[in-house]
Chains A and B, each alone.
Chain A
Amino acid sequence: EPEVTQTPSHQVTQMGQEVILRCVPISNHLYFYWYRQILGQKVEFLVSFYNNEISEKSEIFDDQFSVERPDGSNFTLKIRSTKLEDSAMYFCASSPPGNNEQFFGPGTRLTVL
């Protein structure tokens, strides 16, 4: 069964450094998302992406964040200058056209020291 994949599984970085989290959505899906989950808390929406542009973003998704689909398969989340409070699990998700079902990847645990 096709699934969303994410790399790396765990990323440790120093405060102020840039990180790029990578995702490969399910191949025939057209909508892509990033969510984050701070340890022990609920999952929070960051951004959705469709047709090579952002379609929705939350208040969390400020100027430090950006997303890109650099080729036909990858979808990336960049955090320009990481803060301690960016430490969380970051989940990528994708959904097919005409369908609300969102399928989540296994997540990248980001630890900012």
Chain B
Amino acid sequence: QQQVKQSPQSLIVQKGGISIINCAYENTAFDYFPWYQQFPGKGPALLIAIRPDVSEKKEGRFTISFNKSAKQFSLHIMDSQPGDSATYFCAAINNAGNMLTFGGGTRLMVKP
């Protein structure tokens, strides 16, 4: 029940296209959902996060869509750029603690 399932495992998008990564969870006690971006050899960097009281959050080209009833959330990267090529992880924290549970990761490649 602590799992966060992420798809797809890998994604190839043309420059200027929209990248969409999906995550699903079971634990209804999760109440904070961040997305992390990781470049090879680096630590995960917080990209954007959402709480379940809103259905969407946008920061620049990055948008999280959140569907509480379906227990799903997704990351949309608009106007994808080659510099966005990285591994993206969704994650969740439950309201009883501060342990991040990560999804399996999506390796995004944006072709020029």
Q: What residues make up the interface of A, taking CB atoms closer than 8 Å to B?
A: 4, 31, 33, 35, 41-45, 48, 55-56, 58, 91, 93, 95, 100-107
Contact = CB atoms under 8 A, between A and B. Distances in A.
B100 interface: yes
A42 B104 contact: yes
B98 A104 contact: no
B44 A100 contact: no
A104 B103 contact: no
Given A4-B43, A93-B43, A93-B100, 8 more contacts: A33-B98, A43-B44, A45-B101, A56-B97, A91-B44, A100-B49, A104-B36, A106-B42
Nearest to B104: A42
7 contacts: A41-B104, A43-B36, A44-B102, A45-B100, A48-B97, A100-B49, A101-B46
B43 A31 contact: no
A42 B102 contact: yes
Dominant SS among interface residues on chain A: strand
Contacts of B100: 33, 35, 43, 45, 93, 102
Interface string B87-109: 00101010001111111110000
B97 A101 contact: no
A102 B46 contact: yes
